[in-house]
Amino acid sequence: MHLNHFVIDDFFEEPDPIREMALKMTYPDRDETEYYPGRNAAGQIQLPGIEKFIGGIVRTPLVQAASTSHAQPRLAVEGDDGKVSIHIDPVDWSALIYLTKPEHCQGGTHFYRHKKTGWDRAPVYPGEPEQLGYGSLRGAIDDILNTGGANGMDQWEESMVLPMRYNRIVIFRGYLYHDAGKSFGSSIDDGRLILPLFFKNPQSKTLLYTEE
């Protein structure tokens, strides 16, 4: 059994204080090399024990993934576009907590299948890149997502959307092909506000960390 997605509503017992913390943070201009739309907060929201808690849900030991925007709120408003659309997160598990108020929620997290390969995820396990005709995971990702034209939506078919809802957490394998959908709103009050979390399994059998 290979679990890929979890959706949990009413994640925080008191979500409003978490949202207020995010609202009070500063959001510097995005580095143009980043692939995501919008801007990350300058700091983190501390969630003690979150690795163990999420690990219990996915039935896997987890640690915070290094070199990620773990626990940094992210704001995206209408017109914010990332460097690419469809992408993967180079981690075992990703999680997003939606902090947009109910009256402003739109869209959600979109998942895709790559038409040419028929895969809905990157070939992250040993032997899989070769199975698809690539010499390495990096080569596969560069071709499928980068030079392959991830923004050419005719190369993809949408397989699922996990809808946005205030205080909902969606947890999924980071190496699934996905995107954030359309940015909306005009300010932090009504824009797309999320709290992203990124986790690594210390016992991971994927190639994600062997090609760093």
Question: Would residue 195 count as lying in a domain?
Answer: yes
Q: What is the pLDDT of residue 50?
A: 98
From the DSSP assignment, how many helices (H) and strands (E) are in the chain? 4, 10
For residues 50 and 21, the answer to whether their CB atoms sit within 8 Å is: no
Q: Which of 181, 176, 160, 180 is nearest to 119 (CA)?
A: 176
Measured CA to CA, the distance from residue 185 to residue 80 in angstroms comes to 10
Q: What is the pLDDT of residue 84?
A: 63
Question: Would residue 206 count as lying in a domain?
Answer: no
Q: What is the pLDDT of residue 27?
A: 96
Measured CA to CA, the distance from residue 157 to residue 166 in angstroms comes to 27
How does residue 43 score in pLDDT terms, banded at 50, 70 and 90?
very high
Per residue in 84-105, pLDDT (tens digit) is: 689 999 999 999 999 999 999 9
Question: Would residue 210 count as lying in a domain?
Answer: no
DSSP 96-150: EEE-S-GGG---EEEEEEETTT--SB---STTHHHHTT-SSHHHHHIIIIITTTT
Please compute the mean of the pLDDT values over residues 19-41 and round it to a whole number.
87
- Range of 188's domain? 5-200
Strands 156-163 and 108-114: antiparallel
The CATH number given to whatever domain includes residue 28 is 2.60.120.620
DSSP label of 21: H
Whole-structure pTM value: 0.93
Question: Would residue 40 count as lying in a domain?
Answer: yes
Question: Would residue 205 count as lying in a domain?
Answer: no
Q: What is the pLDDT of residue 101?
A: 98
Q: What is the pLDDT of residue 29?
A: 86
Question: Would residue 207 count as lying in a domain?
Answer: no
Q: Which of 175, 110, 114, 111 is nearest to 144 (CA)?
A: 114
Please compute the mean of the pLDDT values over residues 106-115 and round it to a whole number.
96
- pLDDT reading at 135 higher than 80: yes
Q: How far is CA 177 from CA 103, 173, 183, 197, in A?
A: 28, 9, 18, 17
Q: What is the pLDDT of residue 212?
A: 52
Per residue in 171-194, pLDDT (tens digit) is: 999 999 999 988 999 999 999 999
Per residue in 47-93, pLDDT (tens digit) is: 999 999 999 999 999 999 999 999 999 999 998 876 568 999 999 99
Measured CA to CA, the distance from residue 133 to residue 129 in angstroms comes to 6
How buried is 4 (Cβ within 10 angstroms: 0-12 exposed, 13-18 middle, 19+ buried)?
middle
Q: What is the pLDDT of residue 146?
A: 78
- pLDDT reading at 150 higher than 60: no
**Residue % of the chain over a pLDDT of 90:** 82
Number of domains present in the structure of the chain: 1
Question: Would residue 73 count as lying in a domain?
Answer: yes
C-beta neighbour count of 153 within 10 angstroms: 13
Measured CA to CA, the distance from residue 1 to residue 178 in angstroms comes to 22
Question: Would residue 209 count as lying in a domain?
Answer: no
